[in-house]
A and B are shown apart, each in its own frame.
Chain A
Amino acid sequence: VTDDLNPAARGLVASARRSGRTLEPGRKVRLKYAVAASVAASSAALSVVKLVVVGALSAALGAGTTLLVVKTVNSKPARPALPLPRSVPSAAAPLARPLPPEPRPAEPPTVERPPAIRPAPGSGAVLPVVPSAPAPAPEPATPELATAPLRGNPPPPATSALVAELELLREVLLATQAQRWADAQRALDDHARRFVPAALRSEAHALQVVVWCGTGRVEEARGLARELEKADPLNPAVQRLRGTCAE
């Protein structure tokens, strides 16, 4: 091609070419999840895909303004996703009503990749992942959360199950943000009982760490956080635990 660049322009281009060549590693991983979820959501096999409790928990656990979204393929009304409140339960938070300590057998967790942060725009309607839903009836707390099997990938959950799981974790989230630790624990126990295997295990366990931090069960929180860190180190919800008492 004729009419080449002049030397000054050539130098500018050569310098510019060296800059910004790659995505930052963390951003690249997050985007990969998003791409994978978008692809899954676009397939006919799934009518609804849960995407992003990860983002919800990231916001709940510390930083970020990630929006919670659930994508419904072929849904019509597109509503803006709702930003989560940003209150941060932590070890420094005043203890509410400490829960009695419960033995939590530690099982080696498996690596579970989080879903996407959000779906690709234009690939379907975007609904809040934090739907307003009646809270499930409270059930007696049990220590089943930590004893739920962590190994193995759960089969793709049905749409209704996903929505129900998201709603329940939303309930946990709101309770932790309000420092209603007993309510949060009850909802977590409910989650452990109802969703085996859970599609959002890592997210639920990350919330459990937060609840334990809030109720003074620091050692248990740290133990579970270590397991999560080992099993699912790239999960943003897990990463956010670094700012809690479990760090």
Chain B
Amino acid sequence: LSELNVTALYDAHADFVFRTLSRLGVESSAVDDAVQQVFLMLHRRRAEFRNASSVRTWIGGIAIRIAREHRRGLVRHDARLSVASPTAAEVKSPDDQLADAQSLALLLRMLDTLDEDQRTVFVLTELEELTAPEIAEMTGVSVNTVGSRLRLARKHINALVVAHRRTEEAL
């Protein structure tokens, strides 16, 4: 992978990296830096790329690591809503898009309460629709572990959604 290819990879995968970082809890103010870090690390480690992996899986693995570093290193702000606040474009969009943005905001708040490993598996499975083997390769754990984490994450989110519904109904 040459420098030129890094640019091409950016074109192909920047949105995926952006989504992954955002949904794994990187603060909105730090996402751009994190995106850069992902592609810089990708460049530095290009010699480690094995053709047996898909490029997307490889990039996803790097994004997960960068997101973890950010989550561990950052000073958490109280207003976690800022991570998921709808963008201006989304606010101006039709109602359904606004509703989707609000759903994402709500889901991200719920994800904040998840264990980091469970969150990673949940995001990659449910939002990125990756397969368990892909996630296993990205995260360096077995497929069984992926399944176990996903199961726990789903259980947690199910409970939160039910609680949220009840709260809404009570109000």
Contacts and interface: CB of A to CB of B under 8 A. Distances in A.
Contacts of A176: none
Nearest to B155: A3
B10 A32 contact: yes
B106 interface: yes
Given A31-B14, A43-B3, A13 B127 contact: yes
Given A16-B107, A32-B10, A35-B39, A5 B154 contact: yes
B36 A34 contact: yes
B165 A120 contact: no
A100 interface: no
B11 interface: yes
Nearest to A17: B127
Interface stretch (A21-29, A183-191, A225-233): A21-29
Contacts of A121: 33, 36-37
A126 to B, nearest CB: 11
B54 interface: no
A159 interface: no
Given A19-B90, A20-B19, A20-B22, A5 B103 contact: no
B158 A6 contact: yes
B114 interface: no
Q: Is the interface of B mostly helix, strand, loop or mixed?
A: helix
A122 interface: yes
Contacts of B161: 6, 8-9, 12
Contacts of A120: 33, 36-37, 39-40
Interface residues of B, number: 49
Interface string A101-113: 0000000000000
Contacts of A3: 151, 154-155
A99 interface: no
A39 B44 CA distance: 8
Contacts of B147: 1-2
A31 B14 CA distance: 9
Interface string B31-64: 0110111011001100000000000000000000
A76 interface: no
Contacts of B108: 16
B135 to A, nearest CB: 10
A43 B6 CA distance: 13
Given A5-B157, A17-B126, A20-B104, A39 B151 contact: no
B111 to A, nearest CB: 10
Interface of A: 1-6, 8-9, 12-13, 15-24, 27-28, 31-32, 34-36, 38-40, 42-43, 119-123
